Chain A
Amino acid sequence: MKKTFKLSIVMLLALTVVLAGCGNKKSETNGSASTSEGSSKSDIKIGMVTDVGGVNDKSFNQSAWEGLQQLQKDKGVKAEYLQSTKSDDYNTNLNKFVKGKYALTWGIGMSLGDAVGTVAKQNPDAKLAIIDAVVDAPNVKSVTFAENEGSFLVGVVAGKMTKTNKIGFVGGIKLPVIERFAAGFKAGVLAVNPNAEVNINYTGAFDKPDLGKTAAATQYNNGADIIFQAAGGTGTGVFNEALGRVKSGQKVWVIGVDKDQSLEFPDVTLTSMVKRVDEAVKRVSQEVIDGTFKGGQETLTLKDNGVGIPDTSSKYVPADVLKLVEDYKAKIVSGEIKVPEK
């Protein structure tokens, strides 16, 4: 009996060591392969710090990471990301890249604004960039989007497509960014359908799918048939609620946000308010590669194709509605319509 135990422990340890040895070798080859590939093209390293949503949030973090991966493939730069699990991690994660001499460090999301500001001030030689927040520092590029303009367009779609004249909006935390979504969306709905009612609901979180699911359930139960979600990871819950209802025969839709979410949820996504975070990330990163990077602020609008709806929308949205969307887009771009921000 005793011997069996001793033996089993020894065996376990031996097994661990042996297996560890195997694993080691494998990763070494991986490592060397990637470095040789990298050095042949470019030695530039670009880091990205997510907010608590993580790179699989099916939203702007994911979009940003896809942009960087694209860049890694096309230009051979080395891209890395670090996921923040709590707000303590923002500074340390940013510093991990900055102190590791990365050419550019991205902070994704408004909540990283302060951390990016602090780190930028402490490291005036480092280059940083941030999405969705404005940081006033000479070595930081701040990229924001005119979410209200893009949301106006999906509002037009929702206003035209609703059968019940009740439309829901599920937001994350009530921040100026999210309020821009809500305001633009409401304006868009009312522009084409003055009888419609837009019910705005903030869940208070970007990382709680359960809250999104509850909020969506409430809205659908109240008669809404289309919900626009601008809630990051919380929005996944909105999709899940809609999927459940579609399966049981109810006709409901979700309008996705940030990415073309019909790729993730093809059955319930009417259209998406796409925010080209990936394009912004690629563009600013490219500036670093070219050596033309400059700090400052940039707002991407409909005109710059920084926001808009994806081509896949034609799957469920009829052509005449899409035509109308194009008309409104032209009017916004020309300045004929001013979309409210609040």
Chain B
Amino acid sequence: MSKLYKIFTGSIVVPLVAIIFGLIVGAIIMLVGGYDPLLAYQSLFEQVFGNLYDFGETLREITPLILTGLAVAFAFRAGLFNIGGEGQFIVGMTAATFVGIKVTGLPSIIHAPLALIAGALCGGLWAAIAGYLKAKRGVNEVITTIMLNWTALYLGNYIVNSFLLPEGMDHSEEIQPTASISIQSLVNFFNDARMHWGMLLAVLASVFFYYFLWKSKQGYELRAVGFNPNAAEYAGMNVGRNVVKAMFISGVFAGLAGAVQVLGVFHYQSIMSGSPGIGFDGIAVALIGMNHPFGILLGGSLFGILTYGSAGMSFGAGVPPELIRIVIGSIIFFIAAQGIVRWVLKPLYSKRKKEKVL
């Protein structure tokens, strides 16, 4: 019984109930706005699972969200709040684009991984700047990562503008075909949906996340620093080095997200007027996934399904795509405000418990 109770009060039921609450809140708002929520959710579902093309595109939408979600969660496990997923994402994109365009004459088997690694490493180094400032100077990483987001945005635009831009275009030239990580057979299978190796990478990354944090000594140190830096230091761990390391690995995930977007989806980089937002969405994904790698796989999937399905909602039921952000916002609200969910659920469980006692 106690085990059952733990499952319910533990990590699974709260997000599930929060999701249901979020959908209900969204439904109520749709009703107030004069839309039909059942039709809207039905069209959302059809948009995602209706045919192979859309299903493939949903997977494409989910992939970077999982990676940026992992980035946020990884830093969080080490007691750091990495809001800079956005900047690391852009740096990863830019590095991957640069290697993808400028390095020539390599076979695909080397070129594509090289571009991926370049993106991941540069994303990691970008985050490590904030980690270093935190470790050596005590600068709050929230501030530095936010500032680095803007730096990354304009640096990325500058690099594309000065080195990679063909005359009169608003985006860089295409990457070499050898750097592409698209899977042509899957693209054909999914009726031209933009399928690529990134999906597999995202799953592997979450497995790595799990093993690194919970099955390795380094991961143990990171988590110890996250729980209590003073105690960790007293136990002889180098807190500063762990902070930099945590930020670096966190940035690697976000940089990888940027790299797969370029190498698998767009094959070029646009001049961006604003942040693409995938890094910020990672914060929400990490929250929905309760900062657990497998939770993030699910959280990222949910987020991607809702985001991609929102086009179907506006198409099938005339619901503006902004409304799906309200649903997502409510889900996050209910997850963050776990107290409300527990408070609502508690009487149900306590009653069940009493019945058992009787």
Contacts and interface: CB of A to CB of B under 8 A. Distances in A.
Interface of A: 1-3, 5-6, 9, 12-13, 16, 19-20, 23-24, 26-27, 80, 82-83, 85-89, 91-93, 95-96, 99, 110-111, 114, 122, 173, 175-176, 204-208
A87 B270 contact: yes
- What's the dominant secondary structure at chain A's contact region? helix
B39 interface: yes
B236 interface: no
Contacts of A3: 347
A20 B27 contact: yes
A85 B321 contact: yes
A83 B311 CA distance: 8
Interface in B14-66: 24, 27-28, 30-31, 34-39, 51, 53-54, 57, 60-61
B315 A96 contact: yes
A9 B346 CA distance: 13
11 contacts: A23-B30, A23-B36, A24-B39, A80-B315, A86-B277, A87-B270, A87-B276, A99-B191, A173-B271, A204-B271, A204-B273
Interface of B: 24, 27-28, 30-31, 34-39, 51, 53-54, 57, 60-61, 157, 168, 170-171, 191-192, 194, 265-266, 268, 270-271, 273-274, 276-277, 308, 311, 314-315, 317, 321, 344, 347-348, 350-351
B269 to A, nearest CB: 10
Contacts of A111: 170, 270
A92 B344 contact: no
B36 A5 contact: no
B31 A23 contact: yes
Contact of A88 (B34, B38, B61, B271): B61
A93 B57 CA distance: 11
A13 to B, nearest CB: 8
A83 B351 contact: no
A72 to B, nearest CB: 14
Contacts of B351: 2
B201 to A, nearest CB: 18
A91 B264 CA distance: 14
Contacts of B37: 16, 20, 23
A3 B271 CA distance: 57
A23 B60 CA distance: 33
Nearest to B276: A86
A175 B168 contact: yes
B317 A27 contact: yes
Most chain B C-beta atoms within 10 Å of own C-beta, residue among A91, A92, A99: A92
A114 B270 CA distance: 11
Contacts of B194: 91
Contacts of A85: 321
B347 A2 contact: yes
Identify the interface centre among B266, B273, B317: most chain A CB within 10 Å of its CB.
Answer: B273
A80 B318 CA distance: 10
A16 B28 contact: yes
Contact of B274 (A110, A175, A176, A205): A205
Given A6-B348, A23-B37, A99-B53, A114 B265 contact: no
A1 B273 CA distance: 53
B61 to A, nearest CB: 7
Nearest to B310: A85
Contacts of A173: 170, 271, 273
Of A23, A86, A122, A176, which is in contact with the most chain B CB atoms at under 10 Å from its CB?
Answer: A23
A82 B344 contact: no
Contact of A23 (B35, B277, B311): B35
